[in-house]
Structure 1
């Protein structure tokens, strides 16, 4: 959509939202009834964020995106933007699937806690109990790494151990045996080191205690009970759908070809093949899902599916386990964060004094963000099919806006900026 068309669309949306309240005759009951403060706040939040998001996505020429906002057990907004790929042949829909990348980790943690609470395993079990060939360089050091250390990235090993071997197409058994060359950088439970390969060792654990494949466990214990009808696991499942967003990376532009007088950065995206590498660590990065699925997942994590995700389980997942102080320096977030930790499969932030349960995901050509605030009974998720850091900016903007709206700060600069753009 070109600039002129987009402005017309934005103005049309404004009149659709607000003109009926001005010109449509109302009954006496309608005239005397007024929307609640909560309804007004929700409307302000969804309308303002729509303005912010669409402007930023257009500015960076993002091929396709989708986001959802939920409050309690209600979906306040479910918006889609753009197309499955840069060729613009098919539009993104509420059921378009994206790769979740590391947003897969909370699902693996949830599934693991389900088995622990059912007595199928103990979080204190050493990983070597299930993988006897797993070893570290110091004798017996591997026996000290327990399941809860995997869930909280507190194994004591260097961050992202052997992730590079995934792109080199190493067999997972071979990669696992490579750990015998590693020495811990701290005792388990004493330092944070983010992992993908090590985190994926939850898969054989879960498959052993339940005697079922990992994807089937997710399907039967999470996806189907929550009616996440688009969700799946793995490369083949992604390739088999006809409604899948395709990955894009930023094309490097030769400065000599830039248009004379250009004052804004030019974002030129190139479609790339879907890569298989991180699908091989399914608990860490193997889930595909739509924005409709993410809305249901958020509602469940807010506590509105207690028969599936019990209050006890949700509390266990979201207790701080290890400090992640480096997150306090995240671009777009650092001015808002006062504390950062990792629980089981979730990052835990103090954002402007509000607890956020959060995770992000990044894999070749895709980005994903999800968070919920129990205190506000509010959740947000966004999926895009481009490797753009705009998703970090938009997520931080959403939570800044949500907190300000919840505190009735009507003069929020984000609200004022978008109202100004609507008048232009």
Structure 2
């Protein structure tokens, strides 16, 4: 398809005012917005718009050179490094993890020998996905983290229902280290940063002072303060989570990386980072999501695929400690849009801004399918407590029949305070929307081998009625 980029998109005072207004509305101290469009002649149209400050304490202005945390968009970089190894014949997607990491073990020992590289990249390994064990800052932190998974439980057997898995991507990072003979961070430099000519992207926290770095912001619990958010006291996740979510950089460098994927592995500077086959395979459906989501169509290798009307968004997002990132690529149109923010309000800001930008491009931001609950539906079958290792959801019902859900942290990772129960909006007898501040997630109720779960990207097992 052909998309015409309006000349004024992200370039006029009106767009600056819109961004400023959205940042204020959603309590986001600083934002970078970027768009890149490629044409058949090889010309590149890159636009970057910024607003705000890196931190409410320092007041340092956000510029195009400010680095923000990409969060889980890092997983696309890690997947790319794995696919480079596939291109070189060093492994296949069906290579067993234990063939590369002979000592790899999880608590359900019989599953350890069944997990493949494909399972890691499609979140179907079944490994408990949210184990944020701190194994130090040394170059051996990923090796130590993978060893610590010997006590990790399994949510499903390998190859079962998709459940978002940070842990699996750290295992993928260790595979990269073993086959390359160096730290994952250094492999990124040699095999992606340098070939693509990237200059404002890092993983090691010691490098952050060399750049203008954004600081995350959390909800302010002080009722007497005029500020709705305050800077976090912890800048980044533990280093062992590197392959799953710690790359930090500018919107421009992220769009240059994304462009290489839209160009089937060929960088804007002419350097190839992936074969055409591998780049296309990454955005080919690997796991069908149609039974659990009316917004996301499928999971590819690393990427999520969503329907935007005339085009498919090949996308990923990221959430770290007080920072939110969103990347949408549209390979059919050779356009990509990225938004980087430094507070949890960035989720709602991104949704509003992406909707507006999409409308300018003739693309429709996807909306959940609202089929409505049946006349006999009372919600009693959904009520109960659902959990992962880190998060608890409690579904209750008011006297008037309205369903409520409360989310709470069992392990404090984000630093955000828990919120009171909120109404859920039923989309069908088994699907509903949950809209806490800064987020909107479609949930589905599932029964897997006699066990009840809520699916909202992750599987949350029912632990009590």
Aligned mate of 1:366, from 314, 320, 323: 323
Q: How far is the alpha carbon of 1:105 from its aligned partner?
A: 0.6
Aligned mate of 2:171, from 175, 178, 201: 201
Go from structure 1 to structure 2 and tell me whether the alpha carbon gap of 1:55 and 1:216 turns closer, same or farther (over 3 Å shift): same
1:114 aligned partner: 84
Go from structure 1 to structure 2 and tell me whether the alpha carbon gap of 1:187 and 1:398 turns closer, same or farther (over 3 Å shift): farther
2:37 aligned partner: 71
Go from structure 1 to structure 2 and tell me whether the alpha carbon gap of 1:197 and 1:326 turns closer, same or farther (over 3 Å shift): farther
Aligned residues: 349
Q: CA separation in 2, counterparts of 1:282 and 1:40? A: 35
SS class of match (1:112): helix
Q: How far is the alpha carbon of 1:77 from its aligned partner?
A: 1.6
Structure 2 unaligned regions, length at least 5: 365-465
After superposition, where does 1:235-254 map in structure 2 within 5 Å? Answer: 235-238=205-208, 240-254=209-223
Residues 72 and 318, structure 2, Cα contact 8 Å, conserved in 1:
yes
Q: How far is the alpha carbon of 1:350 from its aligned partner?
A: 1.4
Aligned mate of 1:404, from 362, 371, 390: 362
Q: CA separation in 1, counterparts of 2:136 and 2:192? A: 32
Q: Does 1:350 align with 2:307?
A: yes
SS class of match (1:312): helix
Residues 280 and 286, structure 1, Cα contact 8 Å, conserved in 2:
no
Q: Does 1:291 align with 2:251?
A: yes
1:34 aligned partner: none
Q: How far is the alpha carbon of 1:135 from its aligned partner?
A: 1.8
Q: CA separation in 1, counterparts of 2:211 and 2:10? A: 33
Q: How far is the alpha carbon of 1:184 from its aligned partner?
A: 3.6
Q: How far is the alpha carbon of 1:392 from its aligned partner?
A: 3.9
After superposition, where does 1:132-281 map in structure 2 within 5 Å? Answer: 132-158=102-128, 160-163=129-132, 165-166=133-134, 175-182=145-152, 184-238=154-208, 240-254=209-223, 257=224, 268-281=228-241
Q: How far is the alpha carbon of 1:166 from its aligned partner?
A: 4.4
Q: How far is the alpha carbon of 1:51 from its aligned partner?
A: 4.9
- Larger CA deviation: 93-102 vs 294-303: 294-303
Q: CA separation in 2, counterparts of 1:174 and 1:218? A: 20
Go from structure 1 to structure 2 and tell me whether the alpha carbon gap of 1:187 and 1:272 turns closer, same or farther (over 3 Å shift): closer
Residues 34 and 48, structure 2, Cα contact 8 Å, conserved in 1:
yes
Structure 1 unaligned regions, length at least 5: 1-36, 259-265, 329-333, 407-424
Let me know the Cα RMSD of the aligned residues.
Answer: 2.9
2:280 aligned partner: 315
Go from structure 1 to structure 2 and tell me whether the alpha carbon gap of 1:45 and 1:366 turns closer, same or farther (over 3 Å shift): closer
Go from structure 1 to structure 2 and tell me whether the alpha carbon gap of 1:375 and 1:402 turns closer, same or farther (over 3 Å shift): farther
Tell me which of the two structures has the higher relative contact order, counting C-alpha pairs closer than 8 angstroms and 6 or more residues apart: 1
2:94 aligned partner: 124
SS class of match (1:84): coil
Residues 74 and 246, structure 2, Cα contact 8 Å, conserved in 1:
yes
2:449 aligned partner: none
Structure with larger Rg: 1
Q: CA separation in 1, counterparts of 2:19 and 2:289? A: 28
Residues 75 and 295, structure 1, Cα contact 8 Å, conserved in 2:
no
Q: Deviations over 1:139-167 (max 9, x none)?
A: 43111100111011111234x2423x449
Go from structure 1 to structure 2 and tell me whether the alpha carbon gap of 1:242 and 1:139 turns closer, same or farther (over 3 Å shift): closer
Residues 233 and 286, structure 1, Cα contact 8 Å, conserved in 2:
yes
Residues 135 and 145, structure 2, Cα contact 8 Å, conserved in 1:
no
Residues 84 and 92, structure 1, Cα contact 8 Å, conserved in 2:
yes
TM-score by length of 1: 0.74
1:409 aligned partner: none
Q: CA separation in 2, counterparts of 1:343 and 1:380? A: 19
1:382 aligned partner: 339
After superposition, where does 1:37-56 map in structure 2 within 5 Å? Answer: 41-44=6-9, 47=12, 50-56=16-22
